Amino acid sequence: MNPRDTRQQRSWDSDTLPEGREKSAMVRSMFDAIAPRYDMVNRIMTFRLDVQWRRRAVRDLALPPGSVVLDLASGTGDLCIDLARAGLEPVSLDLSHGMLANDRSGAPRAQADILRLPVPDGAVDGIVCGFALRNLVDLPVFFAECARVVRPGGRVALLDVGVPHNRVIRWGNSVYFGRIVPRIGALLSDAAAYRYLPRSVAYLPAREVLVAMLRTAGFPDAVHHQLSGGLTQLMTGTRASGGPDRDTTGADSR
Ligand SMILES: C[S@@+](CC[C@H](N)C(=O)[O-])C[C@H]1O[C@@H](n2cnc3c(N)ncnc32)[C@H](O)[C@@H]1O
């Protein structure tokens, strides 16, 4: 291991959450490191609920068979598997070579930063993105990229962890993810990464803000769903024709 790798590995074992380039370099090397056991730890720490959340995202994408769908920040390709089962044509993009190397979907895949999609305007019917929004350094840029590459009438379905509204569920969730998940991570994978992942939810704006951003970017009917009592959030929307919607202030979400 060269000294640069060592420095990057230490960077996610920190109490402060990095920003900008430091964050994206850290995210990439952290996912490279945890890739081989990522799926197993996911299933265990979510009691397989993650499988249901991804299926729900594909169902709510509501595109007809044959549609070309980008799975952005695809990781090991779980969403690609669900997309293919639904008769869709997935294409997988991720920053981490380690995650792509552990892909199980067999979908066409490439290493790319999803803030700069190597895809022409209006070229795809849809986009899914699973549990990656909080890893990005600029959400408005990401939503603008989604609007650029999805054809008018195309759809997006974006999943990430949530903050439950119910106080008791929120407390249970924070104890579980704050104390137990890092121990599961320590046992099976990388303790520091599984300490970082629950903390990284702090990067996400409130759901009203997320929905407003997506509407402004060009998905004016965007809506928000809480899954499993708010443990996870799902946003869906349809690409309007024309440019970004400058008039949207709508923070109303369902
Ligand atoms: C929590 S994993 C989610 C993987 C997969 N979507 C899933 O549902 O399990 C987050 C993924 O986001 C990827 N990622 C983070 N920032 C990225 C970026 N700027 N461009 C592309 N991929 C990124 C990471 O490499 C990692 O594979």
117 Cβ below 6 A of ligand 1: no
Q: What is the pLDDT of residue 253?
A: 36
Q: What is the pLDDT of residue 245?
A: 55
Q: Residue 71: inside a domain, yes or no?
A: yes
Q: Ligand 1 pocket test: which of 71, 95, 129 has the largest number of ligand atoms within 8 Å of its C-beta?
A: 95
Say if CB 132 and CB 27 are below 8 A apart.
no
Which residue in 70, 44, 80, 68 sits closest to 180, CA to CA?
44
Nearest CA to ligand 1 atom 14: 73
Nearest CA to ligand 1 atom 12: 73
pLDDT tens track for 165-196:
899 999 998 899 888 988 998 889 988 888 88
132 Cβ below 6 A of ligand 1: yes
Task: State the residue range of the domain holding 99.
Answer: 1-237
pLDDT bin (cut points 50, 70, 90) of residue 6 is very low
29 Cβ below 6 A of ligand 1: no
Q: Residue 247: inside a domain, yes or no?
A: no
Q: Residue 174: inside a domain, yes or no?
A: yes
Q: Residue 243: inside a domain, yes or no?
A: no
What's the whole-number average pLDDT of the chain? 90
Domain count for the chain? 1
Q: What is the pLDDT of residue 101?
A: 97
Domain CATH code at residue 52? 3.40.50.150
Residue with tokens 């420095």: 7
Question: What is the 74 CA–ligand 1 centroid distance (Å)?
Answer: 6
Question: How much of the chain, in percent, has pLDDT values that exceed 90?
Answer: 72
Q: How far is CA 233 from CA 125, 177, 244, in A?
A: 22, 16, 23
Beta-carbon contacts of residue 210 (< 8 Å; ≥ 6 apart): 133, 139, 204, 224, 233, 235
99 Cβ below 6 A of ligand 1: yes
pLDDT tens track for 188-233:
998 888 888 878 888 999 999 999 999 999 999 999 999 999 999 9
